[in-house]
Structure 1
């Protein structure tokens, strides 16, 4: 498999989720960075121009994924980066809520790796 040029930024307050996603994606030859909060993710984006997509946990303390996507959409350097919402919320309407909030894609936990890779390949 060809190595991807762009990096994936995983923003999630749960280190277990970051570990699991990073392990799966590195095995698929993706380059991953991680942040434990939206603000930490913004700092990484500001210092790394190779971020191709963000996997955003929607339920985080301080700033949740909805607030983070809103901030990204209003920032000239971040608004072009696609965000895939990653959430344990799999209730009716949650996918639409994420997409309406600005997510380019949606994955529910537990993550279906094939679906995730399909979406990532669409944006990277």
Structure 2
């Protein structure tokens, strides 16, 4: 299955550069091609202009447009089948359900467990 995901482009949308740096390093070390956006608006523009994107990892709490609204926009766009994973520090009861209700395909809480992240990526990129 590893060959299937090698060199796949994964978009990271997060307003915190430390999170982008950490996720980017993990993805690169696993032979993935990370693409990064520091706002939801920038991420949506990339999704609409980069057909190579196979998956999105999106932070839910961003200042310009939160991840919930960004996921709803992705679902309304022509890329509505694109796998989207909510990545958030919000880990209270109901937060997972809220992310899935917005249209996320999966939910990962921060700090990210790398093995869990890779399991989700491998399952969703086909």
Normalised TM-score (structure 1): 0.94
How far apart in 2 are the matches of 1:117 and 1:48?
A: 22
Q: Give the deviation of 1:26 after TM superposition.
A: 0.6
How far apart in 1 are the matches of 2:103 and 2:46?
A: 20
State how many pairs are aligned: 123
List alignment gaps of at least 5 residues for structure 1: none
> 1:101 aligned to 2:102?
yes
Q: Give the deviation of 1:44 after TM superposition.
A: 1.2
Q: Any residues of structure 2 matched to 1:41-60 within 5 Å, and which?
A: 41-60=43-62
Normalised TM-score (structure 2): 0.93
Partner of 1:89: 90
Partner of 2:39: 37
Q: Give the deviation of 1:6 after TM superposition.
A: 2.6
Describe the SS at the equivalent of 1:85. strand
Q: Give the deviation of 1:5 after TM superposition.
A: 4.3
Describe the SS at the equivalent of 2:20. helix
How far apart in 2 are the matches of 1:48 and 1:107?
A: 24
Partner of 1:66: 68
Cα distance per residue 1:71-116 (max 9 Å; x no partner): 11111x2211111000000111111111111100010000000000
Contact 2:7 2:31 in 1 (8 A): no
List alignment gaps of at least 5 residues for structure 2: none
How far apart in 2 are the matches of 1:48 and 1:85?
A: 20
Deviating beyond 3 angstroms after TM superposition, the runs of 4 or more aligned structure 1 residues are: none
Structural RMSD (CA):
1.2
